[in-house]
Amino acid sequence: MKKAASTKKPFFNRELSWLEFNQRVLDEASNPDVPLLERLKFLAITASNLAEFFMVRVGGLYLLQQHRIAKRDPSGLTPRKRLKAVSDRAHSMVAEQYRLYNEVLETGLSRAGIVRVAPSAMTNEQKVSAERFFLNEIVPVVTPMAVYEDQVFPLLVNVRMNLIVRLAPERAGMSERFAVIPLVGGLPRFVSMPSNDEWSFALIEDVAGMFIDRLFPGETVLECTPFIITRNADLEVRDEFAQDLLSEMEDILRARAKSDTVRLEAGQGMSRSAQAFLKRVLGISSEQVYELGGPPALNDFMQIALRDGFDRLRYETWLPQHSPQIDQQAGMFENIADRNILLHHPYESFDPVLRLIQEAAEDPHVLAIKQILYRTSSRSPVVAALTRAARNGKHVAVIVELKARFDEARNIDWARRMEEAGVQVIYGVRGFKTHAKLCLIVRKEPAKGIERYVHFGTGNYNEATARLYTDISFLTCDPDLGTAAAAFFNAITGYSQPVQYARLYAAPIAMRARLLELIEGEMVRARQGQKSRIRAKVNSLVDPDIINALYRASDAGVRIELIVRGMCCLMPGVKGLSEKISVVSIIDRFLEHSRIFCFSAGGDDTVLISSADWMPRNLDRRCELMVEINDAAAKARLIEILDSGLNDTVKGKWLQPDGMYLPAAPGKLRKGRRSQQGLYESACRAIDRQIQAQRTVFKPHRPS
């Protein structure tokens, strides 16, 4: 008789799991097979990721500690122990970042003609150029501020570089004095220098430091070192109590600007006295100080990675392909009426989604457009089309999620502009973030009457990130899905209660229950000796209920294969618990962002796409959508995408029971299979086949 499993199942800690995800990104920066500027890009991403991690996750932990909340997380750690573990791991990661930058990337860039010029290595011509820049560009805009321990410390901008200047005492026996100089946002980080190289530059902080005494005439400057503070951004509006959500969100943005410091990045060579002074005035401990081994703000180096030229140091460009499902000569309504369309971005262009909304804005048969916007680009063509549609007399209703973290200010601006154009703007749902990706277009057609055209997506309506993130778009005029989409939208905007929709599952109402039901179904089939298998692709797997259900399914004999890009709290491959579960993470040139689920259902696969990850926040505290795909061709393609990732032996790394990620074991899978490259080549072949087929068909021009 099988021994009963313990009711307390093991979980990985989510913060440490996230840091291991960032390590996998850093591994790409370390990979000599990756082109040099792509490696620099990955390094910049790790720095940007860490900044957001400290603002949100670490900031939240400090709040728990300040309120003396000692509740353990599913991994069994208290907030205090989580902070200690995070600090140890993050310090190690930062040290590795700078070893990589100093020993590999800066050297490689210099050999390739991209040369950072240190002050000590400048020629006379470069010193003159640096001095001119200092006097003409820096001096007019910076403001040195004397700082004292017994006075209020100046309000420094979150994650922006500053200089701390240490001055000699006024008289013998007195203490050293300090001043702070914020390097304002309008200054370039990289200052071009005259050189025979392809491009030479000095860092703004180095140029400022060379001539800093000009800002303190008559004083002896002992030190000038850059530093950056990271503030807690884990502040959210309690919108169930907010009378004016837009005003409340603006208050939150102001509160973030002066919230507590959670991290101090101390520039290379900062003296102990300067560091001690900053710790005292910022009210932080030693574990919150990160001594940098090189230039601060490595995320700024993305500017160099994206600089024009130097294409030899980058990946060959993969241009998004036109989908062979779409007739470029026909309108989008005609295309969708002809067939369901599934697009895989960025291998296939996002343009059809933009075209659909833009054509709807001008089409005289379109009566209404309803859309959810979570994140958009800075010059969003979607917002422009919605605004144009409203001015053309169509009913346009848009849910703008003001609580989209770090995009709040942009969304507030878009909301106001659309309201001015006559768009009916709804600021999400009280108590929840609206994260679903949905566009519904109502069209009155002469032959059919009212038709609903729907776009369901796994990613945002952002044409810029649609070239960088892998996501799914499903375009359909399926009557059941159209009716369900309309009912879901009305439930959000009105007082109607959410109901069960046909093939559409909404969080926080039905999505969790449906996922658990599907997992339970595979478990039952496995126990009955039937075919059972679960394949899923998510960004994060954190939810304890889902993880425990997967553990039970594995114990029942279900084969479970997961693609989890980021955090994964599930422990795979543990004897007696998760022996049948494997987890792979793929870090490559595109950010894996799509959510696809496939349950074998005894051989008749149930396939779904979703806006939601398997996390409590998505399943319980957000309005999300999960769509069951019945179209045979679309289902087959989604399964192909899943299988491609599960067989990636080049960029895939498999999670081990101890939390480490390792490449595929030799011989386990066919060598040399890189999923993103294979998917792009497949998209290229598909359009090539279409072009070739068109060449063999003669179409006569007929009189109009």
Contact partners, residue 282, CB within 8 Å, separation at least 6: 153, 229, 261, 264
Closest CA relative to residue 653, chosen from 588, 590, 700: 588
Residue 227 confidence (pLDDT) above 90:
yes
Predicted confidence band at 425 (pLDDT cuts at 50, 70, 90)? Answer: confident
In a domain, 5, yes or no: no
- Return the ∠ at Cα 602 (arms to 599 and 607), rounded to 5°: 30
Q: Which of 280, 313, 346 is the last residue of a domain?
A: 313
Report which residue type is found at 199. W
Distance from chain centroid for Cα 533: 29
| N residues, the chain | 704
CATH number where 35 lies: 3.30.1840.10
pLDDT at 402: 67
Residue 252 confidence (pLDDT) above 50:
no
Same domain, residue pair 586 and 620: yes
Q: Which of 502, 526, 542 is the last residue of a domain?
A: 502
Same domain, residue pair 489 and 519: no
In a domain, 699, yes or no: no
Predicted confidence band at 376 (pLDDT cuts at 50, 70, 90)? Answer: confident
433: left (phi over 0), alpha (psi -120 to 50) or beta: beta
Q: How many domains does the chain have?
A: 3
Please compute the mean of the pLDDT values over residues 17-28 and round it to a whole number: 97
Q: With the CA atoms of 307, 310, 315 and 320 taken in that order, what torsion angle do they form, in degrees rounded to the nearest 10?
A: 60
Considering the chain, what percentage of its residues have pLDDT values greater than 90? 75
Task: Find where tokens 């200690």 sit.
Answer: 84
Task: Find where tokens 């603002």 sit.
Answer: 55
Contact partners, residue 488, CB within 8 Å, separation at least 6: 436, 438, 498, 501, 504, 506, 625
Q: Is 382 helix (H, G, I), strand (E, B) or coil?
A: helix
In a domain, 320, yes or no: no
State yes or no: is 395 an active-site residue. no
Q: How far apart are CA 239 and CA 232, in angstroms?
A: 20
Predicted confidence band at 701 (pLDDT cuts at 50, 70, 90)? Answer: low
What digits encode the pLDDT tens for the residues 318-339?
999 999 999 999 999 999 999 9
Task: Find where tokens 């080549």 sit.
Answer: 681
Same domain, residue pair 192 and 45: yes
Same domain, residue pair 229 and 305: yes
| pLDDT higher at 144 or 185 | 144
In a domain, 702, yes or no: no
Least confident of 235-244, 442-451, 660-669: 235-244
**Separate counts of helices (H) and strands (E) for the chain:** 20, 27
Residue 94 confidence (pLDDT) above 90:
yes
In a domain, 422, yes or no: yes
Q: How far apart are CA 384 and CA 671, in angstroms?
A: 47
In a domain, 6, yes or no: no
Q: Which of 502, 534, 569 is the last residue of a domain?
A: 502
Same domain, residue pair 444 and 470: yes
Among 435, 455, 593, 701, the active-site one is 435
Task: Find where tokens 């346009």 sit.
Answer: 396
Is residue 278 within 8 A of residue 264, CB to CB? The reply is: yes
Predicted confidence band at 418 (pLDDT cuts at 50, 70, 90)? Answer: confident
Q: How far apart are CA 561 and CA 580, in angstroms?
A: 8
In a domain, 345, yes or no: yes
Chain mean pLDDT for the chain: 90
pLDDT at 8: 67
pLDDT at 668: 52
In a domain, 514, yes or no: yes
Predicted confidence band at 5 (pLDDT cuts at 50, 70, 90)? Answer: very low
Q: How far apart are CA 301 and CA 253, in angstroms?
A: 26
Same domain, residue pair 542 and 652: yes
Please compute the mean of the pLDDT values over residues 593-598 and round it to a whole number: 98
Q: Which two tokens stand for residue 592?
A: 């894996």
Same domain, residue pair 145 and 275: yes
Q: Is 463 helix (H, G, I), strand (E, B) or coil?
A: coil
Contact partners, residue 88, CB within 8 Å, separation at least 6: none
Question: Which residues are 373's β-sheet partners?
Answer: 400
Predicted confidence band at 406 (pLDDT cuts at 50, 70, 90)? Answer: low
CATH number where 490 lies: 3.30.870.10
What digits encode the pLDDT tens for the residues 602-659?
889 999 999 999 999 999 988 999 999 999 999 999 999 999 999 999 999 999 999 9
Euclidean distance between the first and the last CA atom of the chain, given in angstroms as a whole number: 80
Predicted confidence band at 416 (pLDDT cuts at 50, 70, 90)? Answer: confident
Residue 390 confidence (pLDDT) above 50:
yes
108 DSSP 8-state letter: H
Predicted confidence band at 237 (pLDDT cuts at 50, 70, 90)? Answer: very low
Least confident of 163-177, 239-253, 284-298: 239-253
Same domain, residue pair 650 and 524: yes
Please compute the mean of the pLDDT values over residues 575-588 and round it to a whole number: 97
| Domain span at 340 | 332-502
* CA dihedral for 105, 107, 110, 115, sign (positive or negative): positive
Report which residue type is found at 378. S
Same domain, residue pair 637 and 665: yes
Q: How far apart are CA 638 and CA 599, in angstroms?
A: 12
Same domain, residue pair 495 and 570: no
Same domain, residue pair 72 and 214: yes
3-state helix/strand/coil string of 583-604: EEEECCCCEECCEEEEECHHHC
Same domain, residue pair 140 and 215: yes
